[in-house]
Amino acid sequence: MRTSIATVSLSGSLTEKLTAAARAGFDGVEIFENDLLASPLTPEEVRDRCADLGLTIDLYQPMRDVEAAPAEEFARTLRRARHKFALMRRLGADTVLVCSSVSPLAVDDDALAAGQLARLADLAQDFGIRVAYEALAWGRHVSTYDHAWRIVEAAGHPALGTCLDSFHILSRGSDPRGIERIPGEKIFFLQLADAPRLAMDVLQWSRHHRCFPGQGGFDVAGLVRHVLRAGYDGPLSLEVFNDVYRQSDAGATAVDAQRSLRLLQEQAGLTTPPAPVVPTGVAFAELVTPDAEPLAALLGALGFARTARHRGKPVDLWEQGEARILVNTTTAGRRESTRLAAVGLESPDPAGAARRAEALLAPVLPRRRAPQDVPLEAVAAPDGTELFFCATGRAALPDWRADFPAAGHRTPRGTGVRRIDHLSLTQPWHHFDEAALFHRSVLGLRAQESVDVADPYGLLRSRAVTNADGGVRIVLTVGPAPADDTAHAQHIALATDDVVAAARRFRAAGGRLLPIPANYHDDLAARYEFADGELETYRELGIFYDRDADGGVFRHCYTHTVGRVFFELVQREGGYRGYGAPNAPVRLAAQHAARGFTGG
């Protein structure tokens, strides 16, 4: 189906918004009145600009407080409408959005509302324009889609139809199945938005917290299926009011918006892009550093061994068990901190994973490689992290380790690390929702609920995405303000069967564990019962402890930070699937005290 986006969903001038929408692949736009009023372009110039960009103008909006009004007020509305309809002719738009009235002057009289909307449609028809009547969730007398449809049906005018808006319908908990009783030709327009489920005033919810489909808690795809069964064949259009989007780069936001619609069309059965190829594990994590020595000392104390060097690049492979870390000094500037720059994801079909990524608008990364290098498909995540689709030790597929000829020839001393348990990636403040949608849609991972974690200087938002068996776990975090993007560290969690033994070996090898305030372990004593000496061991080594409702146990501790990166040693027991969130505020405060960095 054709796709469209309301200009109110993007930041910048009207020209910037139109350009971003076209470059992201949208077919059309809704022109929001304020964007036109603030533009130096005439309506004719806007029409021509859209035509040059290949965009249709699918809707002009909004007209407010029209129906069920006193006679004098409605006469003024008709004068205003005549001006708007003439402007729309100049603009090249043929459908106008009329929102249900919120005016205190409006009366609760459906017959009056139907009659006045019919008169408005008469005037619109003279200009070749259709009127799409929409129920606002906070409308004074009309606040549900079925009520709006009854008024449209009573008016019985060919130039009057309804506009359905997923936010207004789903935020009120209305049953969308009734949409199928509306004739498809009378659904003049469909606006789509998702939203997190919040307990707040619906107007404020709508104006500040909408998001693109797939980023919130609404079943937008289910609603679209009902609309399609009714016979609707117009565009799928996004109308998203969001404070973050209005401050973000319009180009990136438009791509995120288009990705959400591509996923939505797949979920609604409208398209069949390449199927998701869910990664099965983490092949490697790549750290870029200007100074390899501190990182080498930390990895050595953790029990990793430097087993190989890339045949043509200054990239070293460190291994322990199935955990692999690449240390790259190729591109790091001398002023750049050590950072997690790339992740290798084990894929049963790397080429298929790349096709899926490209279909969902993930930036495919060009690879500069020597003729003998293993060909690897790679895409960029919203935060810039490079994601490689890899195969390790499978005869039918090229093994990325072939670029490291001596890989596996040296046996690490080891501290009991088995594999990478999870990765934590700090997101730019304006890409948090985009990152969750990206990892779900492109990689096929499952998104868990978002969690707020108390940091000494604000709140961190955190959301994990995983595959079904936990072989891939990625925690996405964002700080409380834009300035925190570079202040918060990234980390790599390493799985072990005995975190106490691993911590002792790490410390004996010269490693520094993050010191934890005694108050934390005093509180543990009040919350749980421990075997003799157990709590004292946790106190000595700075080990955190958590237990879930099903009896699963999580023990974990942290290393000091190098650049922007630190490591975590974790031990899971009894099916524990979380990340020790109750301990995060204490850990964050301890990291502030130790280094001035916060963690993701």
CB 348 within 8 A of CB 397: no
Average pLDDT score over residue span 325-346 = 84
Rounded mean pLDDT of the chain?
92
Task: Tokens for 145, please give them.
Answer: 């889609």
pLDDT-based confidence at residue 335 (cuts at 50, 70, 90): low
Residue 485 has pLDDT above 50, yes or no: no
Q: What gap in Å lies between CA 163 and CA 450, rounded to an integer?
A: 32
Q: What is the pLDDT of residue 488?
A: 65
Question: How far is it, in rounded angstroms, from Cα 435 to Cα 382?
Answer: 6
- Give the whole-angstrom CA distance, residue 263 versus residue 270: 10
Mean pLDDT of 528-539: 96
Q: Is 202 helix (H, G, I), strand (E, B) or coil?
A: helix
The candidate with the shortest Cα–Cα distance to 327, out of 312, 311, 310, is 310
SS (H, E, C) 155-197: HCCCCEEEEEEHHHHHCCCCCHHHHHHCCHHHEEEEEECECCC
Secondary structure of residue 1 in the 3-state scheme = coil
Which has more pLDDT, 103 or 243? 103
3-state SS, residue 271? coil
Quote the pLDDT of residue 410: 58
CB within 8 Å of 151: residues ≥ 6 apart: 67, 110, 113, 114, 117, 133, 142
Instruction: Please check whether residue 102 is in contact with residue 64, taking contact to mean a CB–CB distance below 8 angstroms.
Output: yes
Percentage of the residues of the chain whose pLDDT score is greater than 70: 94
**How much is the pLDDT for 327?**
96
Confidence of residue 598 (pLDDT cuts 50, 70, 90): very low
Digit-coded pLDDT (tens) for 40-71:
999 999 999 999 999 999 999 999 999 999 99
Is 267 in contact with 221 (CB distance < 8 Å)?
yes
Q: Alpha helix locations (H) across 478-531?
A: 499-508, 518-527
The residue type found at 235 is P
Q: Which residues contact 390 (CB under 8 A, 6 or more apart)?
A: 283, 284, 344, 345, 346, 347, 350, 376, 400
The model's confidence at residue 597, banded by pLDDT at 50, 70 and 90, is very low
pTM equals: 0.89
* Cis status, amide bond into 62, omega within 30 of 0: yes
Alpha carbon 340 to its chain's center: 20
pLDDT tens digit string along 565-579?
999 999 999 999 999
Question: Read out DSSP for 373-408?
Answer: SPP-EEEE-TTS-EEEEE-SS-TTS--GGGGSTTTT
**In terms of C-beta density within 10 A (0-12 exposed, 13-18 middle, 19 or more buried), how is residue 189 classed?**
buried
How many angstroms separate the CA atoms of 11 and 259, rounded? 18
- Is the model's pLDDT at 235 over the cut of 60? yes
Contact between 401 and 315 under an 8 Å Cβ cutoff? The reply is no
Q: Rounded to whole angstroms, how far apart are CA atoms 61 and 250?
A: 20
Examine the pLDDT at 587 and tell me if it is beyond 90.
yes
Contacting residues for 16 by C-beta, under 8 A, at least 6 apart? 10, 250
Amino acid 409: pLDDT: 57
436-475 confidence digits (pLDDT tens): 999 999 999 999 988 888 877 777 889 999 999 999 999 9
The pLDDT assigned to 600 comes to 43
Task: Tell me the pLDDT tens digit for each residue of 345-356.
Answer: 999 999 999 999
Query: Contact at 8 Å (CB) between 504 and 540?
Result: no
Domains of the chain with bracketed CATH:
3-267 (3.20.20.150), 281-599 (3.10.180.10)
Nearby residues of 534 by Cβ (< 8 Å), 6 or more positions away: none
Q: How far apart are CA 574 and CA 431, in angstroms?
A: 34
CB atoms within 10 A of CB 244: 17
pLDDT in tens, 248-293: 889 999 999 999 999 999 999 999 999 999 999 999 999 999 999 9
Q: For residue range 380-433, list pLDDT tens digits in order.
A: 999 889 999 999 988 778 899 999 987 655 555 677 999 999 999 988 877 788
Per-residue pLDDT, 336? 73
Residue 489's pLDDT is what? 79
Cβ pair 315, 240 in contact under 8 A: no
| Residue 527 in tokens | 């919350």
Give the CA distances from residue 354 to residues 238, 358, 376, 384, 495, in Å, rounded to whole numbers and listed in that order. 27, 6, 10, 16, 28
Tell me the torsion sign for CA atoms 514, 520, 526, 528.
Answer: negative
Please give the DSSP secondary-structure letter assigned to residue 76. H
* Gap between the Cα atoms of 594 and 516, Å rounded: 10
CB atoms within 10 A of CB 534: 15
